[in-house]
Copies of this chain bind each other. A is one copy, B any other.
């Protein structure tokens, strides 16, 4: 190898020489040709925008920053970091492909969640069910109007669950080719909950309804909190084993938190373990942000369907709260219905904030936490149904 050869080899391996791919004569579609040529640089710009959203706008930065950076790395020409021998490809294969990372994160979520407000006021669980309307509404639209296949429609619907690990787990099983777009949509809209929800909530409620005060929640004993995760898991075993990996991970984390004898493990799930897995989950989900899978009309549709799903979920929760008030003496404030979409604890905070606007003395936060955590269970159950019926 002489100087000229080395220089040529080095030039061949630069990004400049490979950024824009040469025209591939076997591709006949003009748009595909364009993507083939300029896909990677466009994706890099998109990832920089996602990074900006994560850092500057603080859109779920714990996930959006790693996802965007993973996307950046996987669109670098030549390096093939997302390929089968690249480090993001290896991490993806080991951790996401079989669903390990989302389940571990769900353990941590369980170890960080206090189901007390739900146990204190069980009927608010139904609000967490009504908000799953977003999932099935978006599924219906995706299937009938946007031409997605049934598994794809199921994966898109789950965006409406407003629950990151659940979305990633379901998408990996049903439609891994959509993982990048769905994860980006799910986390972005979760961050946008304070923007998306209030207009819908105000539209569907009267000022009087928004001012309803709720009685203070009773104290929940330690034993109830210990038994609760086992009850949820038990129901799930009887009714829907397909949801058991998700619900099992969630309830395991929660049992470890509440039982009080394995605090070492519970602390680790909430900190070192969930942080480590979040880093790798984010980076490897980002590795699916390739131009041929992301720069499609499908991605546009997914973004549209995602916001539809969030809106339907919000509406579902609020409307069902009003329906419940028709049949119940003890009135509930319909604003806490919107917290049923999960997006813990953001949606509950939104309920509280909108409630305070109507009545500055009315703190709804703890009341909204009930439907909020019920929404996590509801989404996991809905995920189990999708996994059972959509493939």
Contact = CB atoms under 8 A, between A and B. Distances in A.
A241 B389 contact: no
A82 B216 CA distance: 43
A238 interface: yes
A248 B15 CA distance: 14
A242 B13 contact: yes
Contacts of A271: 264, 268, 272
A255 to B, nearest CB: 7
A237 interface: yes
A278 B265 contact: yes
A27 interface: no
A273 interface: yes
Interface stretch (A70-78, A156-164, A364-372): A70-78
Contact of A240 (B15, B44, B265): B15
Interface size class of A (residues with CB under 8 A): 35 or more
A275 B273 CA distance: 9
Contact of A73 (B90, B244, B267, B279): B244
A62 B98 CA distance: 27
A233 interface: yes
A249 B62 CA distance: 17
Contacts of A81: 244-245, 248
For A48, A54, A99, A388, the residue with the greatest tally of chain B CB atoms inside 10 Å of its CB is: A388
Interface string A120-157: 00000000000000000000000000000010000000
A259 B103 contact: no
A10 interface: yes
For A15, A150, A255, the residue with the greatest tally of chain B CB atoms inside 10 Å of its CB is: A15
Contacts of A65: 255-256, 259, 261-262, 265
B230 A48 contact: yes
B272 A279 contact: no
Contacts of A73: 244-245, 248, 252
20 contacts: A1-B389, A14-B241, A15-B239, A48-B230, A55-B226, A55-B261, A61-B259, A62-B261, A69-B252, A72-B248, A73-B244, A77-B237, A78-B241, A81-B244, A86-B245, A87-B100, A107-B279, A264-B278, A271-B272, A272-B275
List 7 A-B pairs, minimum CB-CB distance, nearest first. A268-B275, A78-B241, A61-B261, A272-B272, A79-B241, A13-B388, A79-B244
